[in-house]
Chains A and B, each alone.
Chain A
Amino acid sequence: MAQVTLRKVVKAYDGGVQAVKGIDLDIADHEFVVLVGPSGCGKSTTLRMIAGLEEISDGEIAIGGRVVNDVPPRDRDIAMVFQNYALYPHMTVFDNMAFGLMLRKFDKAEIKRRVDNAARILEIGPLLERKPKALSGGQRQRVAMGRAIVRDPKVFLFDEPLSNLDAKLRVQMRTEIKKVHQTVRTTTIYVTHDQVEAMTLADRVVVMNGGIIEQVGPPQELYHNPKTRFVAGFIGSPAMNFIPGRLENGAGALRIHLPGDIVLPVPAERTDRYKALAGREILFGIRPEHLTEAKNLDRPHVAPMTATPEVTEPMGMETLVHFKIQGAEICGRVDPGASAHPGRPLPMAVDMSNMHILDPQSGRVL
Chain B
Amino acid sequence: MSATAATSTYTPVERKQGSLKRERRWAMIGAYIALAVFVVFFMMPPFHMLMTSLKSSGEIADLSGNPWLVSAPTLQNYWELMTEGNYLIHFRNSIIVTACTVAITMVISTLAAFALARMKFWGSTTLATGVFLTYLVPETLLFIPMFQIIGGLGLYNNLWAMVLIFPTMTVPFCTWIMIGYFASIPKELDEAALIDGAGHLQMLWKIFIPVALPGILAAMIFAFTVSWAAFIYPIAFLVSSDQMVLTVGIVSDLIRADTFQWGKIMAGALMAALPPLLVYAFLMDYYIAGLTAGATKG
Contact = CB atoms under 8 A, between A and B. Distances in A.
Do these two chains really belong together in a complex?
A: yes
B156 to A, nearest CB: 45
A363 B211 CA distance: 51
B189 A88 contact: yes
Contacts of B186: 84, 86
Contacts of B193: 88, 99
Interface in A80-95: 80, 82-84, 86-90
Nearest to B213: A90
A90 B210 contact: yes
Given A82-B188, A84-B186, A90-B211, A74 B195 contact: yes
Nearest to A82: B188
Given A82-B188, A84-B186, A53 B198 contact: no
B196 interface: yes
Category for how many chain A residues contact B: 20 to 34
A191 to B, nearest CB: 14
Nearest to A53: B191
Contacts of A83: 188
A78 B194 CA distance: 11
B154 interface: no
A103 B211 contact: no
Interface string A57-97: 00000000000000011100011101110111110000000
A360 interface: no
B119 to A, nearest CB: 14
A89 B193 CA distance: 12
Interface in B179-205: 186, 188-189, 191-199, 202
A88 B210 CA distance: 10
A36 interface: no
A80 B211 contact: no
A299 interface: no
B97 to A, nearest CB: 32
Interface of B is mostly: helix
Interface string A301-342: 000000000000000000000000000000000000000000
> Chain B interface: which size bin?
10 to 19
A51 interface: yes
Contact of B194 (A53, A84, A90, A147): A53
Nearest to A159: B188
A12 B186 CA distance: 24
A104 interface: yes
Contact of A86 (B188, B206, B210): B188
Contacts of B195: 51-53, 73-74, 78-80, 100
A104 B188 CA distance: 20
Given A86-B186, A88-B207, A88-B211, A103 B196 contact: yes
A99 B194 contact: no
A147 B189 CA distance: 13
B196 A74 contact: yes
A137 to B, nearest CB: 15
Given A88-B211, A89-B211, A103-B202, A82 B191 contact: yes
A103 B198 contact: yes
B188 A73 contact: no
B123 to A, nearest CB: 15
Contacts of B199: 74
Contacts of B206: 99
A90 B186 CA distance: 14
Interface string B156-195: 0000000000000000000000000000001011011111
A324 B202 CA distance: 61
Contacts of B192: 80, 82, 86-88, 147
Nearest to B196: A100
Max chain B C-beta neighbours (<10 A), residue from A51, A83, A89? A89
A74 B189 contact: no
B189 A73 contact: no
12 contacts: A51-B191, A74-B194, A74-B196, A74-B199, A80-B191, A86-B189, A86-B192, A88-B192, A99-B206, A103-B202, A104-B197, A147-B196
- Per CB-CB distance, the 10 closest pairs between chain A and chain B, nearest first, are A100-B196, A86-B188, A86-B192, A103-B197, A74-B197, A90-B210, A82-B188, A73-B194, A73-B195, A80-B195
